[in-house]
Amino acid sequence: MAMRPEQSGAIPPTGGSMAPRPGAPHGARARFNPVAAGGPPARWTEPLKRHRYLILLLVLVCVLVVQSVDRRLVGVTAIAELLVMISLAAMVLVVFEGRRGRIAALWSGVVVAALGGARYLLPAVSQPGLEVLQQVLLMCFHGWAAALILRDVFQQAQIRTDDVLGAVSGYLLAAAAWANLYAVFEILFPGSFTISPDLTAQFSDLRGRLALFTYFSLATITSVGYGDIAPARGPMTAFAMLETVFGQFYIAVVVAQLVGMRLAQGTRGKGGR
Upper half-sphere CA count for residue 232 (Cβ side, 13 Å): 12
Q: How far is CA 221 from CA 94, 186, 216, in A?
A: 24, 19, 9
User: What was the pLDDT predicted at 124?
Assistant: 57
Q: What is the dihedral of CA 214, 216, 218, 222, to 10 degrees?
A: -170
| Three-state SS letters, the chain | CCCCHHHHCCCCCCCCCCCCCCCCCCCCCCCCCCCCCCCCCHHHHHHHHHCHHHHHHHHHHHHHHHHCCCCCCCCHHHHHHHHHHHHHHHHHHHCCCCHHHHHHHHHHHHHHHHHHHHHHHCCCCCHHHHHHHHHHHHHHHHHHHHHHHHHHHHCCCCCCHHHHHHHHHHHHHHHHHHHHHHHHHHHHCCCCEEECHHHHHHCCCHHHHHHHHHHHHHHHHCCCCCCCEEECCCCHHHHHHHHHHHHHHHHHHHHHHHHHHHHHHHHHHHHCC
Q: Are 221 and 244 in contact (CB under 8 A)?
A: yes
pLDDT tens per residue across span 13-31: 444 444 444 444 444 444 4
Positions in the chain short of pLDDT 70: 1-45, 47, 70-72, 74, 120, 122-127, 202-207, 265-266, 268-273
> Model-level pTM?
0.75
User: What was the pLDDT predicted at 23?
Assistant: 45
User: What was the pLDDT predicted at 70?
Assistant: 66
